[in-house]
Amino acid sequence: MLQKALLILLGVSISKAIRLISRSRNGNQPVAIAASSEDDVILTSPPATKYDVFLSFRGEDTRHNFASYLYKGLRNAGIHTFMDHELRKGESISPILQRTIGESEISVIIFSENYASSTWCLDELVHILECKRKFGRVVIPVFYNVDPSSIRKQNGNFGKGFDVLEQRFKDNPEALQKWRNALIQSTNLSGWDSHSTRPEFKLIEEIVKDILRKLNYTSSSHLEGLIGIARHVRNIQRLLIEARIVGIRGMGGAGKTTLAKAILQELKAQFDAFSFIENVKEQLKRISLDELQKNCLRELLKDEDISIYDIKTTFMKSRLQRKKILLILDDVDNSIVAADLTKVLDWFGEGSRIIITSRDMQVLKNASAASSTYHVPDLDFEGAFHLFNLKAFKRDEPSKGYMELSKSVVKYCHGNPLALVVLGCFLYGRQKEEWESALEKLNQSPPKDIVDVLKLSFDGLDDKQQNVFLDLAFLIKQGVHFL
């Protein structure tokens, strides 16, 4: 009976049934060393991002001090950072390292006294600036105990290393000029001067904050490519001004997790610590609630030695109260679990916030009496049509001759983002005849992925709701229409 109902209803029936049920139930800034726009022309789309930050540095100068401290600061802020921990051999930058630079959103160049004595570092610098020009990557220079003017003019102690290279490569003036140009160009970028921000730990703190701001800006621009999500992020940000706990509610596949992740990217720079606990419901099938809380505290406090016996001690409370924390609990389906997990907010420092996603309004109500709730609506037809086209055709509009077929699929999905994505990917690259055949078969035997999407919503209902759902399925099959 359940399988049959799911096959009959698909997107339209599920949306109508859930809507009817819902009605019945719920009545310091970087030192500007001059900004350059020269060569800031993006020539092609960038490769997929693998790292947030790539660190370029002279190992003998900074590996065991500043570079390592900065690396730790970035990792503690949740910034995925690449640091070459191997001692470099030979003079040429490896292809793997070149690819890693291209796959990093931001490159941080730590200029130190002996940086220009290394052909490896200089080739790395050239490639970093090439990725900036070609892909629009962000480059941040850090002038560590060196004067930017010494880099620009290749003089002083910094210039001594380059003088040696000039003798070694006197028969290769092209390479020398390439390195010289890269050094000059780097000093025209907005960066950080260690002589201007002291002590050193403060410099690292400010660099980390600057990188978080830049990553958030990049993330914000990426949000516009996710249908309607930027508007939802802004709406939830407004709720978080007043509410300490905000719930995100929506049917299965509506995009609650995607929205929560987007909010994390937008807001994490404003907090001392943050944690995203994904798929709480499924995690609690494998581990205990205490184990889940222990893992959360380890991430928030960057302390792998925390045990289950530590999680409710007064010392743990005092550690948490020193931090402004953002905690996101994704896919919570149990009211008792929600209430227990959100109690920890009283242990967090001033300005802390919790976001919780669920399909069940009652779970969100029990999380906190003072919470606000944001409902993620289905996509309107225009937004749904756009999303489907991006998946089915990899562009904003359908191919010639596919307009009416595309509209039929979009109507069929009834605004459910996950169903639109699954069907768009399913139909991508298929001929028109295959589309027609697939649409005919969908009402009888849809792909397993579509059934799984629909079952997400069904499984989110309690027993009484499921019975109502099946009754509605029967009525819809008999031709009864609901206003």
Q: Tell me the catalytic residues.
A: 124
| Burial class of residue 130 (count of CB atoms within 10 Å of its CB; 0-12, 13-18, 19+) | middle
Order of strands, edge to edge, in the sheet holding 372-375?
273-277, 325-329, 353-358, 245-249, 372-375
DSSP secondary structure letter of residue 310? G
Q: What angle do CA 449, 231, 330 make, to 5 degrees?
A: 50
For 37-48, the DSSP string reads: -TT----SPPPP
Report yes or no: 56 and 107 within 8 Å, Cβ to Cβ.
yes
| Burial class of residue 258 (count of CB atoms within 10 Å of its CB; 0-12, 13-18, 19+) | middle
Question: What are the residues facing 222 on neighbouring strands?
Answer: none
Taken in order 449, 451, 452, 456, the sign of the CA dihedral is positive
What is the distance between the alpha carbons of residues 114 and 161, in angstroms, rounded to a whole number?
6
Report yes or no: 420 and 388 within 8 Å, Cβ to Cβ.
yes
Report yes or no: 54 and 144 within 8 Å, Cβ to Cβ.
no
DSSP SS3 for 251: coil
Q: b/e per residue, 316-339, with b = 16+ CB within 10 A? A: beebbeebebbbbbbbbbbbebbe
Report yes or no: 357 and 329 within 8 Å, Cβ to Cβ.
yes
Classify residue 395 as left (phi > 0), alpha (psi -120 to 50) or beta: beta
The separation between CA 354 and the C-alpha centre of its own chain, rounded to angstroms, equals 18
Which residues, in sequence order, are CB contacts of 304 under 8 Å at separation 6+? 298
Neighbours of 44 (CB within 10 A): 8
What amino acid occupies position 350? E
What is the distance between the alpha carbons of residues 413 and 128, in angstroms, rounded to a whole number?
44
DSSP secondary structure letter of residue 399? P
Query: Whose CA is closest to 277, among 365, 291, 30?
Result: 291
What is the distance between the alpha carbons of residues 160 and 166, in angstroms, rounded to a whole number?
10
Report yes or no: 197 and 203 within 8 Å, Cβ to Cβ.
yes
